[in-house]
Amino acid sequence: MNAILIILTGSLVAISCSLLGSYLILRKMAMVSDAISHAVLPGIVIAFMMAGGRDSLALLLGAGILGILTTFLIEFFHQKGKLQTDASIGVTFTWLFALGVILVSYYAGNAHIDQDCVLYGEIAYVPLDVIILDSGQSLGPKALIVMSVVLVLILLFIKVSYKELFITTFDPSFANAVGISATFWHYALMSLVSLTTVASFESVGAILVVALLITPPATAYLITERLKKMLIISSAFGVSSAVFGYLLAYTIDGSIAGAMATVAGIQFAIVFVIMKKVNKARTRSAVLSLESEPTS
Amino acid sequence: MTDRLWEFVTFAYPNIKYVVLGSILLSISSAVVGCFTFLKKKALLGDVISHAVLPGICLSFIVSGSKNPFLLIIGASITGWISIVAMDYIVRSSKIKEDTATGLSLSVFFGIGILLLTYIQHSGNAAQTGLDTFLFGNAAALIGEDLIAFSLIAVIILVVVYFFYKEFKLISFDTQFANTLGLPVRTLELILTSITVLAVVTGIQAVGVVLMAAMLITPAAAARFWTNRLSIMLTLAAIFGAFSGITGAYISYASPSMPTGPWIVMVLSIIALISFFFAPGKGILIRVFKQYQNQRKFLGENLLKVFYTLGESNQNFLSYRSQEELMAKRAFKESTLAKGLTRLSREGFVTHHRAQWALTKEGYEKGKRIVRLHRMWELYLTEYLKIAPDHVHEDAESIEHVITPELELRLERLLDHPSVDPHKAPIPQKQQPIINNEQ
C-alpha cells in the first residue's frame, strides 16, 4: 500500500514537472527553474518563522513570492544591468540561498528545518504524514493531496491558456504584436513553477524537482518537436522514472528521490543513443533516395 | 566584540589562522578561474561541477572504503570532469540547448550522488559518517592539513593561469581567432575545465555544493562592472574574493552560530549588488540616468525639427503655433509635449505668447541643423548604400541626434554640398536667412 502511495505521489510530481518543464526548455529557461528551486529557501524560512510552524499555505506563499522575486531579479540584472543571463542566474540564486542558510542558522534553535530537507526531501515519509479531519477520518497523505491540487491547477492552466503559452513560447515578438503580453505569461508560468517547486519540496526535494522539470522534457524533445506530443511523451517518461525509480531505490535501499533522478537520466541516455542511430539511418536513406532518383 | 576582533586579527588561536588563510586562498583561486568561465559565458559550469562531484566522492568511498581526502578528491574530479564533457557532447551532437544540458547534467549527476550516498549510509558502514559535509561544506572545521591542500591547489591554479594567461584570454574572447592562429583550442579548454574542476572540488569542502557556484561567478560578475581590461578584472575579482573570505571568517568567528561559507557568499553578493547599481560607466543607475538624458535631448530636438518643418510648409519659420498644430505634425503625448516646450523655452530655443509657441533664432538654427542632418543622411543612404528612398527615414530619425559637427562636414563634402534630399525636400544650408513672411 505504501509503495503505491509513494509511486502515486512521485508520478504526480513527475507529470506536473514534465508539463511545466516542456515549456521551460523550449523557452531556454531550464536553469531558471534550478535557480528558483534554491532561491525559495529564505521565503520558506521567513514563512516558517511568521506562521510559527509548517503551515503549508504560508510556506507556499513565502516561497511563491521568493520565486517571483528571483525571476524578476534575473530579468532585471540582465535587462537593466546588461549582465549575461547565466551570470545573472548564478549570482541571484546563490545570494538568496546564502541568505536562506544564514536565516536557518540564525533560527537554528527553534526551527525544524534544515538545508538538507530542502535539497533532498524524503518521499519515503509521504504515507506517514496524513491529513486527519476533526471527525477522526483520514483524508490520505498530505503530499498526495497537495500534489493532486497542483497537477489539476497546471492542467487547467495549460488547457485554458494553451494558445497564449504556445505563441509566447515560440514567437514572443509576434505575441506582443497581436496583443498577448509575453511578460505576463512569463510571470504566470514562473509562478506555477515556484508553486510546483515548493509543493514538491517536502516530498522530493529541490534537486529532484529540477531533474524532473528538465530531464523528461529533454528526453521527449529528442523524439519530437511538436508541443502536444512533447507534453504527452515527457509525462510518460516522468511517470516511468517514478515507477522504476522506486523499484531501483527499493532494490539497493537508497534515496527514492535520487533513484528517480537517476532513472530519468538513464532514460535520457538511452533515447539519446537510439535517436542518434535513427537520425543517422534517416540521413542515409535520404541520401540514398536522392542518389537513386533518375536524373532526367 | 573588540576583544574578538583583536583575537581575530592577531590569530590568537591557530584555528583562526587556518580558517582565514583557507578562506582567502579558496576565494582568490576560484575568483580568478571564475573570471574565465564568466567571459566564456559558461558561468554556470561551476554549478554543474559542484553538483557532479558527489557521485565521485561516493564511488571512491565505495571502492576504497576509506575517507582519504586525496582519494575522495580524485573521485570527485573524475565525475566533475565527466559531467562537463557529457554536457558539451549533448549540446554538440543533438538539438538540446545549452541551458537544458546544463540543468540535465547537474540534476542527474546529483541525483545519482544522492542515491549512492543514501546507499552507503543505509549499508551501515560506520566509516561513512561525515561524507555529507561535502554537501554543505564547513569552513570553520578547516584544519592544518586542509590548509596545505588548499595552498597547494591555489598555487597550482594561479601558476597555470599565469603561464596560459595569453591563451586563456584569447579563447575567452574569440575562440575562432584563436583557432586561426593555430592554438590548440580544445586542449586549452580542457586545461581550463580541469583547473575549474580543481577549484570547485577543493572549494566545496568549505562552502558546500550550492554556494560553490557563487565563489566562481559573483566576484567575476562584480569585477566586470568596473573595467574592460582582463588583468584589472582578475585583480579586482581576487581582491573581492579575499575580502569576502576574511569577512566571512570573521563573522562566523565573532558569532559562532553563523556559518562561514554562506557569509562569504553574502559579502560577495553585497559587493556585486553595489557594483551592479553604482559602478561608474556600467552601473544600472548611471545607465538609467544616461537614458533619461538622451530621451530629453531627443524630445527637444524632435520638437525643434517639427517647428522647422512647419515653418517650411508656410514659409514662415518664426510664427507662433499652438500645441495642436505641433501634435498634428508629429504624435507627441500632450504631457510630454508641454514638458518639452517648457524646457526648450527655459533653454532659450522657443518663446511663448499665451498658449502659442514660436522658435527663437537659436531654436531656428538648431532645428535647421537637425533637419539638415536628417536629409543629408537620407541622401547618403540612397547614394552610397543604394537603399531605396522609402526605407531611409527610420534610420535617419535616430542618426540625426548623434552626428557630430566633424561628421557633418565630412558628409557635406562627400555629398558635394547637396541641395535636395531623395524625397525632393530642400536640404537647408548653413548660411541661410530666416524667412519670415508675416513680418
Q: Give DSSP secondary structure letters for A182-205.
A: HHHHHHHHHHHHHHHHHHHHHHH-
**Residue B172 pLDDT > 80:** yes
Q: Where are the CATH 1.10.10.10 domain residues in chain B?
A: 288-414
> Yes or no: is domain B288-414 CATH 1.10.1740.10?
no
- The rounded distance, in Å, linking the Cα atoms of B286 and A206 is 37
**Hunting for cell 557521485 — which residue is that?**
B55
- Within 8 A by CB and 6+ apart from A196, the residues are A13, A16, A17, A20, A150, A154, A209, A213
* Closest CB from A30, A98, A105 relative to B265: A98
Q: What is the pLDDT of residues B58-108, one digit of tens each?
A: 899 888 877 777 788 889 999 999 999 999 999 998 999 999 999 999 999
Residue B215: what pLDDT? Answer: 92
Mutation choice for B interface testing from A214, A234, A237, A244 by most B CBs within 10 A? A214
The SS3 of residue B332 is coil
Cβ of A261 and B114 within 8 Å? yes
Quick one: residue B299, left, alpha or beta (phi over 0 = left, psi -120 to 50 = alpha)?
alpha
What end-to-end distance do the CA atoms of chain B give, in Å?
82
Residues pairing with B350 in the sheet: B359
- Within 8 A by CB and 6+ apart from B268, the residues are B214, B215, B218, B219, B222, B240, B241, B244
Residues pairing with A132 in the sheet: A138
Instruction: Give just the sign of the alpha carbon dihedral B339, B345, B351, B352.
Output: positive
Nearest to B172 by CA among B192, B194, B198: B192
What end-to-end distance do the CA atoms of chain A give, in Å?
69
* Closest CB from B122, B209, B221 relative to A83: B221
Residue A105: what pLDDT? Answer: 80
CATH architecture label of B2-282: Orthogonal Bundle (1.10)
Query: Mean pLDDT, consecutive 10-residue segments, chain A of 296 residues?
Result: 84 93 92 88 84 73 88 91 91 92 74 52 62 64 84 94 91 88 90 84 75 94 93 96 93 88 95 92 85 65
Q: Where are the CATH 1.10.3470.10 domain residues in chain B?
A: 2-282
Residue A110: what pLDDT? Answer: 46
- Closest Cα in chain A, distance from residue B318 (Å): 41
Nearest CA in chain B to A279: B94
User: Which residues does chain A have within 8 Å of residue B43's beta carbon, measured at their own beta carbons?
Assistant: 84, 86-87, 89-90
Q: Would you state the cell numbers that stand for residue B323, as one nine-digit string?
A: 500645441
Going by DSSP bridges, is the β-strand pair B350-353/B356-359 parallel, antiparallel, or unpaired?
antiparallel
The SS3 of residue B351 is strand
Mutation choice for B interface testing from A101, A222, A224, A280 by most B CBs within 10 A? A101
- Closest Cα in chain B, distance from residue A51 (Å): 23
Chain-wide mean pLDDT for chain B?
A: 86
* Closest CB from A90, A101, A264 relative to B108: A264
Chain-wide mean pLDDT for chain A?
A: 85
Q: Which fold has domain A2-206?
A: ABC transporter involved in vitamin B12 uptake, BtuC (1.10.3470)
**Residue B439 pLDDT > 50:** no
| Chain A (140-169) residues lying within 8 Å, Cβ to Cβ, of chain B | none
ipTM of the complex: 0.89
- The rounded distance, in Å, linking the Cα atoms of B377 and B403 is 10
Residue B216: what pLDDT? Answer: 93
* Closest CB from A25, A33, A94 relative to B265: A94
Mutation choice for A interface testing from B107, B117, B120, B263 by most A CBs within 10 A? B107
Mutation choice for A interface testing from B50, B83, B114, B266 by most A CBs within 10 A? B114
User: Which residues does chain B have within 8 Å of residue A258's beta carbon, measured at their own beta carbons?
Assistant: 111-118
E strand intervals along chain A = 130-132, 138-141
Instruction: Give just the sign of the alpha carbon dihedral A16, A22, A23, A27.
Output: positive
Cβ of A31 and B103 within 8 Å? yes
Residue A111: what pLDDT? Answer: 47
